[in-house]
């Protein structure tokens, strides 16, 4: 059994829980997810089955879309609604739409984020949440993440000295939306946290493409799977003939072909419509291409 299974992860489960249950339902051990979702978060979680697990990174690296609610006026130790309150500051005068829009615009592009202490990022071999649960602090490495789109999609609601509004975020891998909510608050001059989150798109899949774990148990597994090559649909395609295909299946380094996709660093290789491999321009040998992934046939 090989393919991509777009799962709608429901609240109350970890991403690993979903993988564990999918293995039992599908009766296969080769199941992997494509980007962790916290237990309180629901949304699109593509699962890679069988040979598709070799391509999980291509879905993980693809853009994701989220709808989040930002709460201005209160910060928490986890940066979301599940954590203990760290700081509060009443919002006593309205935040102007212009000010909010300026803040959102300033966060579009490549920005620096510091992962939250309650996250799965590893430092010195331990995950940050392990330090946090032990009451320890550790220096967290900042990293650059990409925000492609960031827009306000609801009106600001004022209640009990707090302001809440929803945003839609299209971003690259490694982005923490709860940290983004905190950054929005900081730029407005207030503590803040992310009060709700839904992942609405991942790897080109949306909710309408997904099944729940409950639906998985009632359906024929083959009817739910998308083709393995769905994971690399964003890559340029290079179509080859039989003789070259044999060399590709053996993982050979090849001369740069005349029909290599224009300006492509990496391409998906096909023979008669069948996905064979991913090749890329060789980083050290000029005029050569090398295999990145060769799929079992």
pLDDT for the residue 285? 93
Determine the pLDDT at residue 190.
Answer: 97
pLDDT score, position 233: 87
pLDDT at 267: 95
- The pLDDT value given to residue 136: 82
In angstroms, the CA 10 to CA 38 distance is 10
Assign residue 148 a region (left: φ > 0; alpha: ψ between -120 and 50; beta: otherwise): alpha
Q: Which two tokens stand for residue 118?
A: 């309650």
pLDDT tens digits, one per residue of 68-108: 999 999 999 999 998 889 999 999 899 999 999 999 999 99
Q: For residue 232, what are the contacts with CB-CB under 8 A and spacing of at least 6? A: 55, 58, 268, 275, 278
What the block records as the tokens of 290 is 């090398």
Q: What is the dihedral of CA 255, 260, 263, 266, to 10 degrees?
A: -80
Domain ranges of the chain: 3-61+203-231, 64-197, 235-294
pTM of the shown model: 0.87
Which CATH number does 64-197 carry? 3.30.2350.10
Low-confidence ranges of the chain (pLDDT < 50): none
CATH 3.40.1530.20 fits 235-294, yes or no: no
CATH fold of the domain at 3-61+203-231: Pseudouridine synthase (3.30.2350)
The rounded distance, in Å, linking the Cα atoms of 151 and 166 is: 9
Q: Write the CA distances from 94 to 62, 90, 139, 155, 195, integer angstroms.
A: 37, 11, 36, 12, 20
For residue 266, what pLDDT is reported? 94
Q: Do domains 3-61+203-231 and 64-197 have the same CATH topology?
A: yes
Q: Which residues are catalytic?
A: 38
């Amino acid at each position: 059994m090989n393919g991509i299974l777009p799962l709608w992860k429901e609240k109350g489960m970890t991403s690993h829980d979903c993988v564990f249950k999918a293995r039992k339902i599908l009766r296969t051990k080769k199941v992997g997810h494509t980007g962790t979702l916290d237990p309180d978060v629901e949304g699109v979680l593509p699962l890679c089955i069988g040979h598709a697990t070799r391509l999980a990174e291509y879905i993980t690296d693809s853009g994701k879309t989220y709808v989040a609610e930002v709460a201005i006026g209160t910060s928490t130790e986890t940066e979301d609604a599940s954590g203990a309150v760290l700081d509060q500051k009443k919002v006593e005068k309205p935040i102007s739409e212009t000010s909010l829009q300026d803040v959102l615009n300033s966060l579009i592009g490549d920005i620096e984020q510091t992962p939250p202490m309650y996250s799965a990022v590893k430092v010195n071999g331990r995950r940050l949440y392990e330090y946090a649960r032990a009451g320890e602090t550790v220096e967290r490495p900042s990293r650059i993440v990409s925000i492609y789109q960031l827009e306000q999609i609801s009106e600001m609601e004022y209640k009990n000295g707090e302001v809440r509004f929803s945003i839609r975020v299209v971003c690259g891998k490694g982005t923490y939306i709860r940290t983004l909510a905190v950054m929005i608050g900081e730029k407005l001059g207030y503590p803040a946290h992310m009060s709700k989150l839904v992942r609405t798109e991942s790897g080109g899949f949306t909710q309408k493409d997904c099944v729940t774990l409950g639906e998985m148990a009632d359906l024929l597994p083959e009817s739910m799977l998308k083709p393995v090559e769905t994971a690399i649909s964003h890559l340029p395609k290079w179509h080859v003939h039989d003789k070259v295909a044999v060399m590709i299946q053996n993982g050979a380094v090849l001369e740069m072909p005349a029909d290599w996709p224009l300006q492509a660093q990496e391409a998906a290789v096909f023979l008669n419509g069948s996905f064979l491999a991913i090749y890329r321009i060789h980083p050290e040998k000029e005029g050569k291409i090398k295999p990145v992934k060769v799929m079992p046939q």
